[in-house]
């Protein structure tokens, strides 16, 4: 038997209801005002298929729509309720801080990449490779400056360079739930000013990126 | 999230490879960014740029081979540096 964790929520255990993966009942363990939400499964090996990941995501989103949560990554599991209680107690302050940080907020993701990257040389010289990297970082920095205009509406942001040879960036923003539409509109406005860039905005997501410190 | 160790030998090997390759990738990226800053600052001549480029290119190719060998993706080797953002 293994317990699959979905989230640590700022809620009363009596608020936890419904089903998790495979129709397993959602259960709760509480420490103070924090509640760990999980379901019990007969085996530990759950292959992370796309369909399974989406079902897991939907369980977390349903929790997110009702409570402030620190979402867990798929595969977060524990042996029994005592282990869950111990984890929750040991990291209570970190979870409580993370819940406060994300309360009333959601994560919105922006994927920004150039429509026409420079052609990649399959066998560059050392000099060509280095100058290509200089140019890639310069273009990524330019994109980052454009995206910086979005940060006036957000509480926090993270950005990372996409895999080489792309000079694009992936950004995550922590946005007040009521500001998501305004944020998406700002992304659309920015997109219209950057015809050479593909801007894709997705969300709202559970605040995975901004709750992670508590999960370690 | 889980603090438990999965003692399956294959998973252990992959986990260890992930840890080691993450550290190597961190160093590779830091050194490459340092080199990029020096090129932008004009402190390297053409021969030095060529030599550095060949070294970083070989390292990048070797890293791709090792990731393939252990079934690891770029995401697996990413380090979230908290308030500093992600490594890559």
State the average pLDDT over residues B22-39.
89
Mutate which of B57, B76, B81, B88 to disrupt the A interface (most A C-beta within 10 Å)?
B57
Q: What is the pLDDT of residues A148-159, one digit of tens each?
A: 888 888 888 888
Query: Residue A96: its pLDDT value, please?
Result: 93
Q: What is the pLDDT of residues A53-100, one digit of tens each?
A: 889 999 999 999 999 999 998 888 898 999 999 999 999 999 999 999
ipTM confidence score? 0.75
Which residues are within 8 A (CB) of A57 and not within 5 positions of it... i.e. 6 or more apart? A206
Taking a C-beta distance cutoff of 8 angstroms, is the pair A157, A187 a contact? no
* B2 contacts A76? CB cut-off 8 A: yes
Q: What is the pLDDT of residues B55-75, one digit of tens each?
A: 999 998 898 899 898 888 877
pLDDT above 70: percentage of residues in chain A:
96
Residue indicated by tokens 């005002």: A33
pLDDT grade, residue A178 (50/70/90)?
very high
Least confident of A6-10, A117-121, A183-187: A117-121
Q: What is the Cα Rg of chain A in Å?
A: 20
Look at residue A4 and tell me whether its pLDDT is greater than 70. yes
pLDDT above 90: percentage of residues in chain A:
55
Look at residue B82 and tell me whether its pLDDT is greater than 50. no
Whether B31 contacts chain A with CB within 8 A: no
State the average pLDDT over residues A190-195.
94
Mutate which of A97, A120, A127 to disrupt the B interface (most B C-beta within 10 Å)?
A127
State the average pLDDT over residues A109-116.
92
**Helix pair A92-102, A81-90: axis angle to 10 deg:** 70
* B3 contacts A160? CB cut-off 8 A: no
Whether B5 contacts chain A with CB within 8 A: no
Which residue of chain B comes nearest to A161, CA vs CA? B88
Whether A133 contacts chain B with CB within 8 A: yes
**Neighbouring-strand partners of residue A38:** A5, A27
Taking a C-beta distance cutoff of 8 angstroms, is the pair A201, A147 a contact? no
**Higher-scoring residue by pLDDT: A216, A121:** A121
* B53 contacts A126? CB cut-off 8 A: yes
* B33 contacts A127? CB cut-off 8 A: no
- Compute the distance between CA of residue A172 and CA of residue A11 in angstroms, rounded to an integer: 26
With beta carbons under 8 A apart, name residues in chain B contacting A209.
80
Q: What is the pLDDT of residues A11-64, one digit of tens each?
A: 888 888 889 988 899 999 999 889 999 999 887 656 778 888 889 999 999 999
- The alpha-carbon gap from B39 to the nearest alpha carbon of chain A, in Å, equals 8
DSSP E strands: which ranges in A42-150? 69-71, 77-78, 105-114
Which residue of chain B comes nearest to A214, CA vs CA? B1
CA-to-CA dists, residue A159 to A63, A180, B23, B80, angstroms: 26, 18, 20, 10
* B35 contacts A130? CB cut-off 8 A: yes
Look at residue B84 and tell me whether its pLDDT is greater than 50. no
């Amino acid at each position: 038997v293994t317990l699959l964790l979905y989230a640590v929520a700022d809620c009363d255990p009596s608020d936890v209801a419904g089903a998790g993966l495979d129709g397993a009942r959602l259960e709760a363990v509480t420490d103070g005002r924090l509640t760990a939400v999980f379901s019990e499964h007969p085996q530990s090996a759950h292959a992370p298929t796309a369909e399974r990941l989406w079902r897991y995501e939907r369980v977390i989103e349903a929790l997110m729509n009702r409570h402030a949560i620190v979402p867990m990554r798929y595969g977060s599991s524990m042996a029994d309720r005592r282990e869950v209680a111990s984890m929750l107690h040991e990291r209570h302050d970190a979870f409580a801080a993370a819940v406060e940080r994300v309360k009333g907020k959601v994560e919105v993701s922006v994927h920004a990449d150039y429509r026409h990257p420079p052609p990649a040389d399959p066998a560059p010289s050392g000099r060509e490779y280095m100058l290509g990297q200089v140019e890639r970082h310069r273009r990524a920095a330019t994109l980052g400056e454009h995206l910086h205009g979005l940060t006036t509406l957000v509480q926090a942001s993270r950005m990372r360079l996409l895999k080489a040879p792309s000079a694009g960036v992936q950004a995550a923003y922590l946005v007040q739930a009521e500001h998501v539409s305004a944020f998406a509109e700002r992304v659309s406005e920015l997109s219209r000013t950057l015809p050479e860039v593909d801007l894709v905005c997705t969300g709202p997501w559970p605040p995975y990126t901004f709750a992670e410190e508590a999960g370690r | 999230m889980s603090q438990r160790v999965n003692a399956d030998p294959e998973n252990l090997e992959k986990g260890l490879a992930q840890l080691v390759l993450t550290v190597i990738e961190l160093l590779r990226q830091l050194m490459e960014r340092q080199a990029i800053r020096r090129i932008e600052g004009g402190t390297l001549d053409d021969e030095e740029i060529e030599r550095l480029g060949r070294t970083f290119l070989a390292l990048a190719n070797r890293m791709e081979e090792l990731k393939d060998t252990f079934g690891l993706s770029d995401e697996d080797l990413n380090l979230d540096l908290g308030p500093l953002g992600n490594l890559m």
